[in-house]
Amino acid sequence: MKITQLNVYDVDLRHRAPAHNLIVIEIETDEGISGIGEVAMSYGVGAKSVIPVLETLAKKFLIGQSPFDSERIFQQCFDNSYWARGRSLAIYGAMSAIDMALWDIKGKSLNLPIYQLMGGKCRDSIRLYANHWYFDAWRPEEFAENALRVVEDGYTGLKFDPFKMSPQGEKSTPSRPVSKEWGDMAIARVKAVREAVGEHIDIMLDLHGCLNVSDAIKWGRQLEAFNPGGFNSEVQR
């Protein structure tokens, strides 16, 4: 089995929340089996920058190769790219999508689920948390109402960015330093959500790397009162 072609599907979903630009790839083979992969970085400014990277990697390292040599293909992409060694998100996004599609081909060819090829499953179920549920919320009470709907759907954990600054719902970066107005708004949103869902629901705060060190300390101390289950953020230095 040999790889014959890579197709890129640019699915522009920026007209609706969460405003992503979905990029999906399909790798075809000479035996009629194809695999699907997704570029996880396809949102925000530069979302389409991965497309020419995908096309270049396909031409240099994919066409004519066996999809079962996915590890070698991955290593070739890494070793022969200066930007892969420099941790370029576009390169890594492309390599990840290609690797995903190659595993998909292997699973279909062997008629086995991918988890069995990777060593077998470790559990029968996995806990999920809800995300993107807050994109159309603005006032604290709207956050609370949306959070309750999430809990009613059966989720026991939810993640959100209380510092978002746009009623339209897209991710946005607060001014630096965070003003008292926006900081108080963020605290009020978290307070409203915690009071709505109760203490048995895990709350995770995704701050999108937007807080500097002093703001992370200042507002983080206030957020502790609402017992967030975890922070998914990077502090700017």
Token pair 């197709």 is at which residue?
7
For residues 56 and 96, membership in a common domain is answered with yes
| R_g of the chain computed on alpha carbons | 21
Residue range of the domain that includes 188: 140-232
Q: Give one word for 227, left, alpha or beta, with left for phi > 0 and alpha for psi -120 to 50.
A: left
- Same-domain status, 102 and 176: no
Of 86, 117, 148, the one marking the end of a domain is 117
Which pLDDT tens digits describe the chain residue by residue (237 residues)? Answer: 999 999 999 887 777 666 677 899 999 999 999 999 999 776 666 778 889 999 999 999 999 999 999 999 999 988 887 766 666 778 888 999 999 999 999 999 999 999 999 999 999 988 899 998 998 899 999 999 999 999 999 999 999 999 887 665 545 555 568 888 889 999 999 999 999 999 999 999 988 777 888 998 999 999 999 999 754 444 444
| CATH number (domain holding residue 80) | 3.30.390.10
